[in-house]
Amino acid sequence: MLRKFRIPWARPILFGDEIDLIREAVQSTYISSGSFIEDFELQFSQIHGGSVTALTVNNGTSALQLAFLALNVAPGDEVIVPGWCFAAAANMVIACGGTPVFADIDEKTWLLCPHDVARKITNKTKAIVAVHTYGNVCDMAALCKIGAEHNIFVIEDCAESLFSRYAGQICGTFGSVACYSFQATKTITCGEGGAVVVPAGTVEDRMRLIRSHGMTSARKYWHELVGHNFRLTNLQAAMLCAQLRHRDELIKMHKDLYRRYHARLSAIDGIQLQIFLPQVDPVVWSVALKLPRSRCVPARDRVLEKLADAGIESRPGFYAMSQQPIYDAPRLPRSETVAEEVIALPSPPDLSDDEIDYVCFHFKASIRN
């Protein structure tokens, strides 16, 4: 039985008009394909500059797999991924027959370290995946420069960084492909769902084919290539269209949540909030911080337990890839340190000041003890 927390780690922010648009989709009888998919894809491409193509998919992991398949990642190819992040990118490299090569992270931003990326490139390297963790954005100038110098693809994983910006430009518009998730905890949501964004005139036609069994509408049941079913439903797209109506409101809520946490926690000795490069304007998806390391029982795990006892759901950081035997990764010292020290606090952007005060009170009490 799942534990009921007084303050959950995440919850979807819904506005009510989601029901109206879903009802409209149901009444249209177009519940699989339909106009809401087209509407959302158009709006999402416009948000990202209009010179790109946005394609919806059934989840963020499928978005990554579609990106790798469209770029022909195959056995013998290497793809550089961060040594500390959610594992979907590494898993989809393996699913496509490629080999993930793990580069360490920057100890302050907790994102892919360009210097270590440069050291990991070989003549087999096909792509670099820049995972923008917790709403932060990787050093895209450095990573795109490396990609251009070596003629390799740069893929942005924006699942946790929707609407964040780098050098004034929305993330997801720097690399060869960008991938997004609309899972229930994400900044906009339809329960699951995802999208890819690609520069117009590149691989969008191939992506459309792969997304829908390798078929075109011109000739029924004729397969141009081996495809998958990565399609989003019209019902889910209707919900996303409603969520996009509240984009500015959601961005403001996330920024305000981070500001309120920062004001209460930034001055505490011995902890370190995630650091953003000067050129990054983050829409923080999850408020996370790093605790001092304990050589015995990790201090972070004791804090998680004490917060849970107070009815507060928090989460540890991801495990480093080098800590998980299935990935057969070499030691990644910075990734392993961050994995043992990071805690993600409750981050629903509609938390009240009283709720944040309650979290911070118990967090401070737990680290004092």
- The whole-number average pLDDT for the span 302-330 is 96
* SS3 track for 40-73: HHHHHHHHCCCCEEEEEECEHHHHHHHHHHHCCC
**Res. 5 pLDDT band, cuts 50 70 90:** confident
User: What is the model's pLDDT at position 88?
Assistant: 98
* Chain-centre distance for alpha carbon 79: 18
Q: How far apart are CA 32 and CA 77, in angstroms?
A: 35
Percent of the chain with pLDDT over 90: 93
User: What is the model's pLDDT at position 270?
Assistant: 85
Number of domains, the chain: 2
- The whole-number average pLDDT for the span 330-357 is 97
Q: How far apart are CA 86 and CA 344, in angstroms?
A: 13
Token readout for 53 is 């193509």
Q: How far apart are CA 334 and CA 320, in angstroms?
A: 9
> How many other C-beta atoms lie within 10 A of the C-beta of residue 124?
12
User: What is the model's pLDDT at position 292?
Assistant: 73
Question: Is residue 1 predicted with pLDDT exceeding 50?
Answer: no
Question: Is residue 7 predicted with pLDDT exceeding 90?
Answer: yes
State the pTM of this model: 0.96
CA-nearest of 28, 1, 6, 69 to 352 is 6
- The whole-number average pLDDT for the span 56-63 is 98
Q: Which helix (H) or strand (E) holds 145?
A: helix 140-150
Are 292 and 341 in the same domain? yes
In sequence order, which residues have a C-beta less than 8 Å from that of residue 26 and are 6 or more positions away? 235
Q: How far apart are CA 43 and CA 49, in angstroms?
A: 10
Would residue 134 be called left, alpha or beta, if left means φ above 0 and alpha means ψ between -120 and 50 degrees? left
Q: Considering 218, 244, 270, which residue would you say is the last residue of a domain?
A: 244
Q: How far apart are CA 254 and CA 112, in angstroms?
A: 23
> How many other C-beta atoms lie within 10 A of the C-beta of residue 199?
17
Are 285 and 208 in the same domain? no
> How many other C-beta atoms lie within 10 A of the C-beta of residue 13?
17
Are 212 and 259 in the same domain? no
Q: Tell me the pLDDT tens digit for each residue of 219-229.
A: 899 999 999 99
- The whole-number average pLDDT for the span 3-11 is 89
Q: How far apart are CA 239 and CA 251, in angstroms?
A: 18
Q: How far apart are CA 288 and CA 153, in angstroms?
A: 30
Q: Are 316 and 344 in contact (CB under 8 A)?
A: yes
- The whole-number average pLDDT for the span 193-208 is 96
Are 213 and 296 in the same domain? no
Residue range(s) defining the domain that contains residue 216: 17-244
Q: Is residue 251 part of a domain?
A: yes
Q: What is the CATH number of the domain that holds 357?
A: 3.90.1150.10
User: What is the model's pLDDT at position 294?
Assistant: 59
Q: Tell me the pLDDT tens digit for each residue of 313-324.
A: 999 999 999 999
- The whole-number average pLDDT for the span 35-53 is 97
Q: Is residue 256 part of a domain?
A: yes
Are 229 and 107 in the same domain? yes
Long-range contacts of 255-262 (CB under 8 A, 24+ apart): 255/283, 255/284, 256/349, 257/284, 257/287, 257/347, 257/348, 257/349, 257/351, 257/356, 258/282, 258/284, 258/287, 260/353, 260/356, 261/287, 261/345, 261/356, 261/360
Are 238 and 271 in the same domain? no
User: What is the model's pLDDT at position 293?
Assistant: 66
Q: Considering 244, 271, 305, which residue would you say is the last residue of a domain?
A: 244
**Read out DSSP for 284-324?**
-SS-EEEPPP-SSS-HHHHHHHHHHHTTB--EE-PPPGGGS
Q: How far apart are CA 280 and CA 269, in angstroms?
A: 25
Q: Are 120 and 128 in contact (CB under 8 A)?
A: no
Q: Is residue 272 part of a domain?
A: yes
Pick from 83-87, 201-205, 240-244: least confident: 201-205
The Cα angle at residue 359 between residues 355 and 364, in degrees rounded to 5: 145
Q: Is residue 3 part of a domain?
A: no
Write the single-letter amino acid at 146.
Answer: I
Question: Is residue 2 predicted with pLDDT exceeding 90?
Answer: no
Q: Considering 228, 244, 260, which residue would you say is the last residue of a domain?
A: 244
Q: Tell me the pLDDT tens digit for each residue of 86-122.
A: 999 999 999 999 999 999 999 999 999 999 999 999 9
Percent of the chain with pLDDT over 70: 98
Q: Tell me the pLDDT tens digit for each residue of 255-298.
A: 999 999 999 999 998 899 999 999 999 999 999 999 976 544 47
User: What is the model's pLDDT at position 190?
Assistant: 98
